[in-house]
Amino acid sequence: MNFKEELTKYIDIINNELTKYLKKEDCPEHILNESKGYSLMAGGKRLRPILIIASYNLFKDDIEKCYKFAVAMEMVHTFSLIHDDLPGIDNDDYRRGKLTNHKKYNEATAILAGDSLLNNAYNLIIDDISESDDNEKQSKLNALYELSYGIDRMIAGEYVDTEYEGKQISSDYLEYMHENKTGALIKASVRIGAILANADEKDLNKLTDYAEKIGLAFQIKDDILSEIGNEKELGKPVGNDKARGKCTYVTKYGLEKAQKMLDDIINEAIEIIKNYNEKGEFLIELEINKGVIIMESDINNIPTHIAIIMDGNRRWARARNLNVSDGHKKGAETLENIAKYCNKIGIKYLTVYAFSTENWKRSKEEVGALMSLLRFYLDKFAKRADTENIRIKVLGDIEVLDKGLKESILKAIDRTKTNTGLTLNIALNYGGRAELTMAVKRIAEQVKNGTLSIDDISDQTISDNLYTAGQPDPDLLIRTSGELRTSNFLPWQIVYSEFCFKEKFWPDFNKSDIDEAIQIYQKRNRKFGGK
């Protein structure tokens, strides 16, 4: 499963279904209809309807049967956002980077647009129930109750948030507020999907526990982003909650503790969904991506190509009184995990620095052990990479490597050459200056034999003669271990890459670190030398 593709598919389904219910005709209330469409199609994450479909899909494959409930849920959510932004509640000027409904139109229109969307949601579900056979009606009535109860709890949570703005509140009140304000509709979404699929009581209880955790995760993540995100990402000013005296998980516990709470809750939620094996994979990835987590705009802003300088294996081992080879073994395991994760979230190219031309200066014992390890893991990983649809390529001069390692490299390349997922470039016996020298020699040879004119030599000519020919340049370069240099790695290709330096040693690097690096990347304003 490619998480990015699956998430995009779900979002497209919801958006296509929503457009069916937007009235286009010219009528006296056409401005009201326009106002509804303005907020409904403003680019939301569609998390709640996606949860309905994904929860339903845990048990049944005919997901189209829950589309109307999914659409209705998004209408309800949009109604809540329109009213939440009003002067009498949060008085926000922007939502998702656009003017809020009452700022775009006026307060009266915004109120009525929200009211109308709520009514439209109920009408849609009632029509769905009336058209259903007797076997489906009871489950749909139960799902309708879940929706109504979720709306009631959401309103209760919103009241507590409004009533206690600027006041100190207990941890219990904070949890109650967010359990209802944010978590109620998320919980309802997961339960609705399961109820429509006729899940038994045991499964329904499990999913309820899962839903409560991701509802809380969503709110904590939102609180964190409100503190350290950027206005473009949030669609509203950063620090708005603090300025208005709102009690959040960040203002209550501090940023570091809030982040730890988020990670713990996500892990707990994942443990629940693991019981559903392959069927639960999408929901697991949704959590891993804190996808709360991934915004629709973020989907289109995930880097195509990530490069990593995997530094710190030896220091990691020495800090634990282990052999250096143990550090390299743990580093190899980390690489496999990171490659699989990048493939799942839609990264197209991952280039890693495994062994540089300068690494030959290390002791013969270490180099020998590292080469043996590389051969072992290439043979082992090539099989798993093939099942994961990962393509393996090697950058560097492999002709000087021993025969056994060279054979393993060529076998891995050949075995995975038709795969269409992530391309994993392993830089092995690689040096950036050596690569550029090689490219210059190749170009000179082309000029010499008359296949290339000097006047035709361009930047692209050089790119076409590098190991990475045909691939886009890295969008993001990550280096672990705290070192702040590029160490002769991809000097031509990274001229416009965004850099992210991590203090962690490579063996400790994990999926959350990739998430964080991507979030940092998404906050950068890439100008490429322009304004």
Q: How many CB atoms lie within 10 A of CB 138?
A: 13
Q: Spell out the residues 6+ positions from residue 14 whose beta carbon is closer than 8 angstroms to its own.
A: 46, 49, 50, 70, 71, 74
End-to-end CA distance of the chain, in Å?
39
| 386 given a catalytic annotation | no
Q: Spell out the residues 6+ positions from residue 323 whose beta carbon is closer than 8 angstroms to its own.
A: 317
- CA–CA gap between residue 21 and residue 68 (Å, rounded): 10
| 359 given a catalytic annotation | yes
Task: Find the catalytic residue in 2, 142, 359, 488.
Answer: 359
Q: How many CB atoms lie within 10 A of CB 23?
A: 15
Q: What would the 3-class secondary structure string for 76-110 be?
A: HHHHHHHHHCCCCCCCCCEECCEECHHHHCCHHHH
- CA–CA gap between residue 331 and residue 309 (Å, rounded): 12
Q: Spell out the residues 6+ positions from residue 157 whose beta carbon is closer than 8 angstroms to its own.
A: 176, 177, 178, 179, 180, 181, 182, 183, 184
Q: Spell out the residues 6+ positions from residue 214 whose beta carbon is closer than 8 angstroms to its own.
A: 186, 190, 265, 269, 286, 287, 292
Decide: 197 and 58 in contact? Cβ < 8 Å.
yes
275, two tokens: 């019981």
| 17 closest CA partner among 52, 58, 61 | 52
| 146 closest CA partner among 112, 209, 105, 192 | 192
Residue in this structure with the two tokens 């560097």, named with its chain if needed: 396
Phi, psi of 481 (to 5 degrees): 85, 0
Residue 305, H or E segment: strand 305-309
Give the amino acid at 102: H
Give the amino acid at 481: S
Residue in this structure with the two tokens 């693991």, named with its chain if needed: 274
Decide: 423 and 350 in contact? Cβ < 8 Å.
yes
Phi, psi of 423 (to 5 degrees): -95, 115
| 251 closest CA partner among 159, 184, 168 | 168
Task: Find the catalytic residue in 85, 90, 92, 311.
Answer: 311
From residue 165, alpha-carbon distances to 21, 89, 158, 247 in Å are: 36, 10, 11, 7
**Which residue numbers are catalytic?**
311, 359
